[in-house]
Amino acid sequence: MKRMREGVLLALLLLALAAPAQAEESVDVGADITVIGTVVLMDDGLYLDDGSRLYLLIDMEDPQAEGLTVEVVGQLVMIDDQPAIKVREMTVLGDVPPAAQPEESEEAPPNRG
């Protein structure tokens, strides 16, 4: 009897842990979503990598955003059976790419002669 109770508790625990992942997957096309991830530049545009999937970013064309960690708010759409976000708002959370960082000036060493 104790083993059966442990088995039921384990099954309930696994269901509870799986429920949030399934909820993320069930977002309706056309729904407003907020996703945090890293901007990736590919041949066909900018994408947001949230660690589990890539979203094409529609209405985002700035290649300098590559490498930034951002929060994107927009409408979920499907383009060629791939998830995409029609971007309404993007907030940079961190990871400024090297191209955007100010360069330190290199000074010549003092002449000691």
Residue 87 lies in a domain: yes
Q: Which residues of 31-61 are buried (b: 16+ CB within 10 A; e: fewer)?
A: eeeebebbbbeeeeebbbeeeeeebbbbebe
- The CATH number assigned to the domain holding 79 equals 2.40.50.200
Residue 102 lies in a domain: no
Range of the domain at 66: 28-95
**Amino acid type, 92:** V
Number of domains observed in the structure of the chain: 1
Residue 10 lies in a domain: no
Per residue in 33-89, pLDDT (tens digit) is 999 999 999 999 999 999 999 999 999 888 899 999 999 999 999 999 999 999 999
Predicted pLDDT at 41: 95
Q: Residue 74, class by beta-carbon neighbours within 10 Å (0-12 exposed, 13-18 middle, 19+ buried)?
A: buried
Residue 21 lies in a domain: no
Residue 112 lies in a domain: no
Predicted pLDDT at 89: 95
Predicted pLDDT at 72: 96
Predicted pLDDT at 107: 56
Predicted pLDDT at 20: 44
* pLDDT average, residue stretch 6-32: 58
Per residue in 58-73, pLDDT (tens digit) is 998 888 999 999 999 9
pLDDT higher than 60, residue 101: no
Residue 22 lies in a domain: no
Predicted pLDDT at 19: 43
Predicted pLDDT at 3: 60
